[in-house]
Chains A and B, each alone.
Chain A
Amino acid sequence: QQPVQSPQAVILREGEDAVINCSSSKALYSVHWYRQKHGEAPVFLMILLKGGEQKGHDKISASFNEKKQQSSLYLTASQLSYSGTYFCGTENTGNQFYFGTGTSLTVIP
């Protein structure tokens, strides 16, 4: 029931774009995205609700495909500060909440 994220790790140069995917085997009600920098606690980025619109936060946005039970996080024109591990959290229609396996993102100059 833990959602699967892909890729597991990605290395980018500053200014490049990246997409992180989150896939669940169960029908979803909401998807939450968090970023955790090394040695720090996870920080909330955004939440997408069933039937809701694509969300955006500066140059980071996300979409939620309810039919495919998937969400994607889009990072455009990446900055060094984007480095960290990104987690999706999924709430399924059984009111269960699970964090994904995590995607390590490294942005290099």
Chain B
Amino acid sequence: QSALTQPASVSGSPGQSITISCTGTSSDVGGYDYVSWYQQYPGKAPKLMIYDVSNRPSGVSNRFSASKSGNTASLTISGLQAEDEADYYCCSYTTSSTLVVFGGGTKLTVL
């Protein structure tokens, strides 16, 4: 099972909005509304930011939003802040031989 495809890096200035894409197939992203997003700071465990394509767990800022179209999911961070600088991973349930697949990760740099 190949990893979901994410851009290696994105950047934006404070206050701006950025979007990170996550492309899969009809066996994962496109087939189910079971896409999640994780934020990870260096040396720290990941944190769940989005589940079921567009839902935020309690405590996650509403500056984080997400959606899906076909085989591509997207995470948008609005009003960028320095603290948003981190790695972001998409993740999906899959009907392939495995059960769960992650994206390769995207490094967000806040300029």
**A and B co-occur in one complex:** no
Q: Residues on A close to B: CB < 8 A? A: none
Q: Residues on B close to A: CB < 8 A? A: none
